[in-house]
């Protein structure tokens, strides 16, 4: 009986030993094989694999960029303003005496001739006989304003009506005081109207007020616009783009070409070796799209407009030069 027990114990011990050996082989043999395979692969490649960021022979890969070739150009500095279309030839009409406004004999938009009665004023006092005093137009034109209501009391300084010539209109706007130094008659501008979307009309400054309005710190200017007949009408809202400064035959680049490096303005110039070089520049006039370069770049240089480059970066052209 003891011999049987001994055989059983030896058998169980053998099974346990076999299981431990099998589990050990299962855990460690795959790692060893993978390590051996990796070593063979590395040795067959002749060392570490080449960096994907480098081309053949270990040279850095060229970056695709968009460039512009500098040529003599013109740049305009502009400001955007809101204004009103109004009659150039207009006149306010006043009563000869103070009294009560009895009636208007014409409405806004009515055509009138010189001498036509526009309004009637009663200058009488309580207990005195009624006698109306007419207010007559002094020019041929159109009634563009009747500011009072029948029954109002008016004086000889009250403008009862405004009559204007609608065929002769101008645009009035107000420019911030900081632009006074560049304002002058003859400045060019563009005018657009809400009523005619997409249309722009050339305009010229015809008058600059010699005074600054203290309440708004602005200067009144008037413009004449070259628009088709019927486009400009008294009372319309106008959007004005005024050219305040102009430089011709200068170095101009798209605004996005000018970058900042260590606190100074720079551009990247591409040489014949197709390598980008960082160049410090001095800027001049600027608008929403372009910037003038007064130093640092010259006509004929190719300047990077778009592309992530730094000093010494090899580049390749992504098509033709950008169009200024």
By the 10 Å C-beta count (0-12 exposed, 13-18 middle, 19+ buried), 31 is classed as: exposed
Mean pLDDT of 281-294: 92
Beta-carbon count within 10 A of 263 CB: 5
pLDDT at 54 over 90: no
> What are the residue boundaries of the structural domains of the chain, listed by start?
63-74+248-317, 79-86+168-247, 89-164
Which residues is 283 bridged to in the sheet? 293
Mean pLDDT of 252-260: 94
What is the CATH T-level fold of the domain 63-74+248-317, as seen in this structure?
2.40.420
Please give the pLDDT value at position 265.
95
- Work out the pLDDT band at 150, boundaries 50, 70, 90: very high
pLDDT at 105 over 50: yes
Reported as a single tens digit per residue, the pLDDT across 9-27 is 777 777 777 776 776 677 6
| 89-164 to CATH, choices 2.70.160.11, 3.30.9.10, 2.40.50.100, 2.40.170.20 | 2.40.50.100
User: What pTM does this model have?
Assistant: 0.60
Please give the pLDDT value at position 33.
44
271 or 48: whose pLDDT is higher? 271
Residue 285 contacts residue 320 (beta carbons within 8 Å): no
Mean pLDDT of 157-184: 92
The span from the CA of 307 to the CA of 138, in Å, is 68
Please give the pLDDT value at position 302.
95
- Work out the pLDDT band at 62, boundaries 50, 70, 90: confident
| 79-86+168-247 to CATH, choices 1.10.10.60, 2.40.30.170, 3.40.50.300, 2.60.40.1120 | 2.40.30.170
């Amino acid at each position: 009986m003891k011999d049987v027990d001994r055989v059983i114990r030896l058998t169980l011990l053998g099974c346990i030993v076999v299981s431990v050996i099998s589990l050990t082989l299962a855990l460690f043999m795959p790692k060893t094989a993978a390590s051996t395979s990796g070593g063979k692969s590395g040795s067959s490649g002749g060392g570490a694999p080449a960096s994907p960021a480098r081309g053949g022979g270990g040279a850095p890969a060229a970056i695709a960029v968009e460039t512009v070739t500098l040529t003599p150009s013109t740049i305009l500095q502009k400001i955007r303003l809101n204004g009103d279309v109004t009659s150039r030839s207009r006149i306010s009409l006043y009563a000869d005496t103070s009294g009560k406004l009895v009636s208007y004999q014409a409405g806004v938009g009515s055509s009138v001739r010189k001498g036509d009665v526009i309004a009637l004023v009663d200058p009488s006092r309580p207990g005195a006989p009624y006698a109306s005093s007419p207010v007559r137009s002094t020019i041929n034109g159109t009634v563009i304003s009747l500011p009072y209501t029948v029954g109002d009391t008016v004086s000889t300084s009250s403008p009862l009506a405004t009559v204007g010539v609608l065929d002769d209109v101008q645009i009035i706007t107000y420019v911030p005081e900081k632009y006074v130094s560049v304002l002058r008659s003859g400045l060019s501008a563009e005018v657009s109207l809400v009523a005619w979307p997409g249309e722009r009309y050339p305009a010229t400054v015809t008058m600059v007020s010699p005074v600054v309005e203290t309440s708004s710190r602005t200067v009144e200017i008037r413009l004449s616009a070259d628009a088709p007949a019927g486009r400009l009408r008294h009372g319309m809202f106008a959007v004005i783009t005024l050219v305040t400064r102009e430089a011709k035959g200068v170095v101009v680049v798209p605004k996005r070409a000018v970058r900042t490096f260590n606190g100074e303005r720079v551009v990247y110039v591409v040489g014949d070796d197709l390598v980008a070089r960082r160049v410090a520049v001095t800027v001049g006039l600027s608008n929403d799209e372009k910037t003038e370069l007064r130093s640092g770049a010259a006509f004929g240089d190719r300047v990077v407009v778009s592309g992530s480059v730094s000093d010494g970066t090899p580049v390749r052209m992504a098509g033709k030069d950008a169009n200024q």
